Structure 1
């Protein structure tokens, strides 16, 4: 077997393995979902990271910045940077923790609360578009299977 033929076989095997890889498919789906969410959030002046923080705060208001970071799987510096943006936009505010002087809690402002409905609608619309190629039974199956893999 020539070197070129061996290389072609290896390339074909890698390509087939990659394209049938669950990890690769989930990564492609995640990238597509991130892009769609960022496009939908752009008119509100938000990105996906800020959206994730807002969703956590709308669900569990008045929690520490470090708790937010853990819930959205975001590094401390990135959490701080994104919360800074949300503070400047008037959507959240910082205040000292009641029991620990070293901790800072974050809470949603009235303006942030007013945005909650729009954020939920964006999430629903993007999810609906993502699931559109599947029939209802397939959508339900996917919704049941994904949590088992997480």
Structure 2
């Protein structure tokens, strides 16, 4: 499933982890590393390397927070925004294939259950 989408990302020059970051920033702009690590499901150290790669491609930028000078926020550049918007239809096409034969109600229930599962998985960090 992820492998097919990873292949679809190749022509855009992104891998799956980089896409998760770009997609997250497309829908929730100007995130801190901590916020982004939750939304992009990546630990901070791996995320920092991903951000470095995306920044070197001029797809994201680091900005000082306007409300907290110590905080750095990550945002898509206009180039990153344009790229992400070009990938969205491809992502939606893959999602559509995966969700074939699911009713709208099924999809709504599935998303709610996955969200609960994801939130519960976060509690595992407290066990470590």
TM-score w.r.t. structure 2 length?
0.78
**Which runs of structure 1 show a deviation greater than 6 angstroms over 4 or more consecutive aligned residues?**
none
Are positions 1:149 and 2:84 aligned together?
no
1:57 is matched with: 25
1:80 is matched with: 48
Aligned counterparts of 1:118 and 1:79: Cα–Cα separation in 2: 23
1:130 is matched with: 98
TM-score w.r.t. structure 1 length?
0.68
* 1:1-150 correspondence runs (5 A): 32=1, 34-132=2-100, 134=101, 138-150=102-114
2:12–2:83 Cα contact (<8 Å) kept = no
Structure 1 gaps, min length 5: 1-31
Q: Could you list the per-position Cα deviations for residues 34-55 of structure 1 after superposition, in whole angstroms to 9, with x for gaps in the alignment?
A: 1112111111111111111111
- Asked which structure has the greater RCO (Cα within 8 Å, sep 6+), the reply is 2
Q: Could you list the per-position Cα deviations for residues 28-79 of structure 1 after superposition, in whole angstroms to 9, with x for gaps in the alignment?
A: xxxx2x1112111111111111111111111121221221112222100111
CA RMSD of aligned residues (A): 1.7
Give the paired residue count.
114
Structure 2 gaps, min length 5: 115-128
